[in-house]
Amino acid sequence: MQRKRRKSFDIGFYVLVLLALVLAYYALYGVNNGTSVTYAEAKQLFVQERVETFQVSGSTLTMSVRDSSVSSGRITAKCQLYSVELFYDDLGGLIDQQYRDGIITDYDLDPPYEPPWWSSILLYVVLIAALFLFWQFMVARAQGGGMDKGMKFGKARLRFGSEKDKKVTLRDVAGADEEKEELAEIVRF
């Protein structure tokens, strides 16, 4: 009995998690409420004077298009733009003329992205820091040491314990045949 109740709880839990994921997806991305058109089709809609309102948000062009085939008389069409500046350069004159004539009733263009003021300063700071580190590296190499050679200047090398304890005797190397041969070669030389 206890086992059956546990199994139904597990299935219910997974169904709730799945439902929460689906709701989160629709909350973040929304329902696709418009037909997707290519840039050429969007341009043709402007030339045919069928666009009533439009909005450019990010790189997405959302248009309210007059269409007599649907009961409401309008459909929503979306188009992904490569560049908002290119879009406005291409159709800016036509859009302004249609807005003055009353064909386009309303439009909204998001301002282009402008980086924060400190980002240009940050670039120079990183460049100066890189040049300083490169200079430090080259000076250290010219002095015959590594990067930390200057940091070790003036530090004493301390030796702990006495030198008597560290002496090596012949018994320590008694079985080292290779070392004996090398020493014999040095004596012969």
pLDDT digits 0-9 by tens, 92-133 = 889 889 999 988 888 888 776 778 888 889 889 999 999 999
Q: In degrees rounded to 5, what are phi and psi of residue 104?
A: -95, 120
pLDDT tens digits, residue range 123-177? 899 999 999 999 888 887 777 655 555 555 566 666 666 666 667 676 776 677 7
Verdict on whether the full-model pTM lies above 0.85: no
Confidence of residue 4 (pLDDT cuts 50, 70, 90): low
Q: Is 134 exposed, middle or buried (0-12, 13-18, 19+ CB in 10 A)?
A: exposed
Distances 125 to 8, 94, 106 between C-alpha atoms, Å: 61, 45, 45
Pairing of strands 106-109, 60-66: unpaired
pLDDT tens digits, residue range 11-61? 777 888 888 888 777 766 655 556 888 888 989 999 998 899 998 888 888
